Amino acid sequence: MANEGAGYLGTEGRPGGISSWIFSTDHKRIGILYLVSILSFFVVGVSLGFLMRLELISHGPTIMEASTYNSVFTLHGVVMLFLFIIPAAPSIFGNFFLPIMIGANDVSFPRLNLLSWWFYMAGAALALATLALGPADTGWTFYAPYSLRTGTYVSLAVFAVFVLGLSSILTGINFVTTVHRLRAPGMGFWRLPLFVWAVYATAWIQIVATPILGVNLLLVIAERVFGIGVFDPAKGGDPILYQHLFWIYSHPAVYIMIIPGMGIISEIIPVFARKVIFGYRAIAYSSLGIAGVGSLVWGHHMFVSGSSYTAGVIFSFFTFLVAIPSAIKVFNWVGTLYKGSIVLGTPFLFALAFIFLFSIGGLTGLILGALSINVHLHDTYFVVSHFHYIKFGGAGFAFFAGLHYWLPKMTGRMYNTKVANWSCLVLFIGFNLLFFPMLILGIEGMPRRYFDYLPQYSTLQIVSIVGSWVLVTGLIMMFVNLIRGAFRGPRAPFNPWGSATLEWQIPSPPQRENFEKIPEVTKGPYDFRGLR
Amino acid sequence: MNETFEKTALHRDYAASKLGMWLFLLTELGLFFGPLLLYVMHDIRHPEAFHAASSGLDRTIGFVNTLVLLTSSLTAALSVASIRRGKTELTLIFIFVTVTLGGIFLVNKYFEWTGKIAHGIYPGGDAFAGLPPGEAVFYGLYFFATGLHGLHVIAGMLVLAIAAVLTASGIVNKRDFVKLENAALYWHLVDIIWIFLFPFFYLIS
Ligand code: HEM
Ligand SMILES: [Cu+2]
C-alpha cells in the first residue's frame, strides 16, 4: 500500500484549522487531541515531582515551605493520576486504535467521545485553577477529616476529579459498546488483539468503579459546604468510612492505570519475537481476573487504620491472590520470548524495561501486602517507591513503548531510532537511580509526604535527587526526538514492524475513513505467516 | 468536517444505543451505592438513633410520592408503547403526564424538606447540632440522598421534555424511537432508586 498524502491529518489536502480538531468526532483526531493535552499535563506533573525532589537537596526549607510542599505533592498526585496515567493509554491509544484493530470505522458514539474530551479539558482546567487560587494540601487521597477542615480549595479540586471521572466513564461506555457492536465480520472475541481485550476489561472497571469515587467526592463537598456529618465523628459520622469508599474505587483504579499498559506490551512482545503470543487466552482471562479480584483488595490500604484483624487477614489474602493473574502475564511474555527470533526495536527495549520495572513493583507490592511487614512500611518511602515502580515504571514505560510502537502509524513519520534507544537507556537508569534508593529509605524509616529529613538519610536522598535529573534528561531526549520525528522524520512505511494486527494493514497515517470496505477477518492477531 | 466524515450510518445502531444506555444506568446505580453503603454501616452502629430519626419523617408523604413515581413509570412505559404503534399524539400526552407526575413528586418533596428546615433539622441548623450523634448522620444522609435523587428527577424531566420535542417534530417516530425509549429507561431508573430510598429512610423504624 502506498503512502497517500496526509490521510486523516488533512482536510482536502490542507491541514485544517483548530476547529476542525477540537470539534471533530473522528476517533483518530480525538486520539490526537488527547495525546497533545495529556502529554502537556504530564510535563506539569513531572515539573512538580522534580521540584519536590529538589526541595530535599538540603535540610530545612530549600526552595519551598512545608505547606507549599504539601500542596505540591497533592497536585503532583492529582495531575499524574487523573490527568496522565488513567486516561493516557485508553484515551490516546484506545481511541485511535481500538476501532481500527477491530475493523471498524469509528467508535459507537462519536459525539459522546468528543464530549468526553471536553469534560477532560474542563476537569483539567478546574484542577489547574486551584493552582492559582490555593491548591489543596490533603494528598491526592483527600482523606477525611483533614479534607473537611483545611482552608484550601479542596472542594474545587474534588469537583475537578469528579468531572474527570465523568469523562472516564463516558469513554468506558463507548469502548464496551464499540467492542460489542462494531467488530468486523470474522473478528470473534478470541481474535481480538490483546490490547483490545485490555482496554475492554479496563472500560468495565471504569464504568463500575468510578461512580463510587464520584459520589464519595460529592459527599466531601457536601460535608464541606453543608456539614452533613457522615464523616464527622462529632456528629456520629466516621472518617474511616471515607477511606473505605475511597479505596473501593481507587484500588481498582490502579488497574485502570496498568491493564491497558499490559495490553500494549502484549502487542509489542509477539511482534518483536516474531512468534504467536504464548497463552493468548490466559492473558485475556487474566485481565478479567485482575479486574474481578482487584475489586476485593481495597482494605490493604487500611491495615493500620484500625479495621479488625480478621478484615486485615482477608484483605491480605486477596492481595496475594491478585498477584497471580499479573504474574501469569509476565510468565506468558517471557514464554513468548523463549526461542523467538528477536528483533531489538525501540518499542521492544521499552517493553523489556517495563517487564523489569513492573516486576520490581509487583514484588514490592507483595511485601506490602503482608500484614505484619506493612505495619512497619506503611506511609514510608517504600510505598512511594512501590507505586512509582508500578505506575511509572510499569504503566508509564508501557505508554512510552506504545508511543514508539504506534507514533509512526499515527503521524506517518518515523523518529530517529538510535536516539530513541539511547533515551530508553537513560530513562531506565534515571528511573532506578531515582526510585530504588527510596525503597531502602523506606525500610530505614523515612516517612512519605515530609519536606525535610534526618541527617542519616542524606546520602540516599541525594542519589535519588540526581536520579531525577537523569530521568528528566531522558524524558527531554525522548520527547524532542519523538516530536521532531512526528513533524520532520522520514515517511514511515505502512507496516514498519511487520505486525499482523489490522491497524498496520492500512496506510500510515490512516485515511479519514479507516477502511474503504470493512475487512473480513480470517486469522488471529499474532499470525505472522505471510508477513516479512 | 464534510459529510462523509460524519459517519451518519453509525449513529443509527439501535442495539448500541440501548447497550450504551444500560451501561450508563449502571453507573447511576453505582452513584447511589455509596450513600446506601454508608447508611447500612451507620445503621449497624446507631440502630436506635436511626429508628428514632426515621420516625420523624412523614410516612404519608413518602408513600404518596412512591405511588406518584410508580404511576409515572407506567405512563412513561405507555408513551413508548404508543410511539411503537405510531400514535404520536397519545405519546405526547403520556410524556406530559409523566413529567407532571415528576413535578408533583418534587412539590411534595419541597414541602417535606421545608418542614424539616423550619424545625432547624438540616445540616447547619440549630436543632441539627443538638441531635444525638446517629440522628444527625441520618438526616445528613437523608438530605444528601434525597437531594441527589431530586436532581435526577429534574434531569429525567428535562430528558423527557426533550424527547417530547423530538416526538412532536417527528425525529422520534414509529421507526426510530430509541431516544424516547432511552429517556423512559432513565425515568424508570429514577423510579427504582426511589424504591430503594423509600424503605431505607421511611420504613425502618
Ligand atoms: C519525574 C518523575 C517523577 C518524580 C521525580 C516524582 C517524585 C515524587 C515525589 C518526590 C513524591 C512525594 C513523595 C513524598 O514526599 O511522599 C511523589 C508522590 C507521588 N507521585 Fe510522583 N514522581 C514522578 C512521576 C510520577 C508519575 C509518572 C506518577 C503516576 C503515574 C506519579 C504519581 C505520584 C503519586 C500518586 C504520588 C503521591 C502523592 C501523594 O502523596 O498524595 N509520580 N512523586
Ligand atoms: Cu490497592
Q: Give the mean pLDDT of A356-367.
A: 96
Rounded CA gap, B83 and B177, in Å?
7
Write the DSSP assignment of A130-182 as a string of letters: HHHH----STTTT-TTHHHH-SSSHHHHHHHHHHHHHHHHHHHHHHHHHHHH-
Q: Classify the phi-psi angles of A70: left when phi > 0, otherwise alpha if psi is within -120 to 50, otherwise beta.
A: alpha
B10 CB within 8 Å of a chain A CB: yes
A184 CB within 8 Å of a chain B CB: no
B140 CB within 8 Å of a chain A CB: yes
Model confidence band, residue B2 (pLDDT cutoffs 50, 70, 90): very low
Burial A96-112 (b: 16+ CB within 10 A, else e): bbbbbbbbbbbbbbbeb
Q: Which residue of A has its CA nearest to B133?
A: A236
Rounded CA gap, A282 and A276, in Å?
13
In this predicted structure, what is the pLDDT of residue A5? 52
The amino acid occupying position A285 is Y
The least confident of A488-497, B29-38, B128-137 is: B128-137
A356 CB under 6 A from ligand 1? no
Q: ipTM of this predicted complex?
A: 0.91
Nearest atom within ligand 1 for CA of residue A85: 30
Q: Give the mean pLDDT of A306-315.
A: 89
Asked if the model's pLDDT at residue B53 lies above 60, the reply is: yes
Asked if the model's pLDDT at residue A297 lies above 50, the reply is: yes
Q: Which residues contact A352 (CB under 8 A, 6 or more apart)?
A: none
Q: How far A483 CA lies from chain B's nearest CA (Å)? A: 26
Q: Give the mean pLDDT of A377-386.
A: 97
Cβ <8 Å between B31 and A245 = no
Asked if the model's pLDDT at residue A531 lies above 80, the reply is: no
In this predicted structure, what is the pLDDT of residue B134? 86
Chain A, 230 to 259: residues with Cβ < 8 Å from chain B are 230, 234-238, 241, 244-245
Cβ <8 Å between A215 and B6 = no
In this predicted structure, what is the pLDDT of residue A234? 82
Specify the CATH number of the domain B2-202: 1.20.120.80
In this predicted structure, what is the pLDDT of residue A15? 59
Surface-to-core class of residue A145, CB atoms within 10 Å of its CB (0-12 exposed, 13-18 middle, 19+ buried): middle
Domains of chain A: 16-505 (1.20.210.10)
Candidate from A54, A62, A80 with most ligand 1 atoms within 8 A of CB, to mutate = A80
In this predicted structure, what is the pLDDT of residue B130? 82
Asked if the model's pLDDT at residue B142 lies above 50, the reply is: yes
Q: Give the mean pLDDT of A420-447.
A: 98
Cβ <8 Å between B42 and A236 = yes
> Where is pLDDT greater, at A294 or A382?
A382
Candidate from A39, A137, A150, A388 with most ligand 1 atoms within 8 A of CB, to mutate = A388
Digit-coded pLDDT (tens) for A184-227: 999 999 999 999 999 999 999 999 999 999 999 999 999 999 98
A501 CB under 6 A from ligand 1? no
In this predicted structure, what is the pLDDT of residue A307? 79
CB of A242 closer than 8 Å to CB of A216: yes
CA-nearest residue, atom 9 of ligand 1: A49
Chain B residues lying within 8 Å of A228, measured CB to CB: 123, 137, 140-141, 143-144
In this predicted structure, what is the pLDDT of residue A235? 82
In this predicted structure, what is the pLDDT of residue A128? 92
Cβ <8 Å between A109 and B20 = yes
C-alpha cell at A485: 520525528
Chain A residues lying within 8 Å of B1, measured CB to CB: 11, 20, 23-26
Asked if the model's pLDDT at residue B10 lies above 90, the reply is: no
Domain boundaries, chain B: 2-202
CA-nearest residue, atom 7 of ligand 1: A49
Asked if the model's pLDDT at residue A173 lies above 90, the reply is: yes
Chain B, 26 to 85: residues with Cβ < 8 Å from chain A are 26-35, 37-38, 41-42, 45-46, 49
Element (H, E) at A478: helix A458-488
Model confidence band, residue B41 (pLDDT cutoffs 50, 70, 90): very high
Chain A residues lying within 8 Å of B116, measured CB to CB: none
Outline where DSSP puts E strands in A402-527: none
Asked if the model's pLDDT at residue A515 lies above 90, the reply is: yes
Mean pLDDT of chain A: 93
Digit-coded pLDDT (tens) for A50-89: 999 999 999 989 999 999 999 999 999 999 999 999 999 9
Digit-coded pLDDT (tens) for B66-92: 999 999 999 999 999 999 999 999 999
- Closest by CA to A425, choosing from A353, A351, A361, is A353
- Pairs of CB atoms within 8 A across A/B: 142
Q: How many CA atoms lie within 13 A of A34 on its CB side?
A: 33
In this predicted structure, what is the pLDDT of residue B125? 84
CB of A492 closer than 8 Å to CB of A414: yes
Digit-coded pLDDT (tens) for A23-41: 999 999 999 999 999 999 9
Cβ <8 Å between A173 and B148 = no
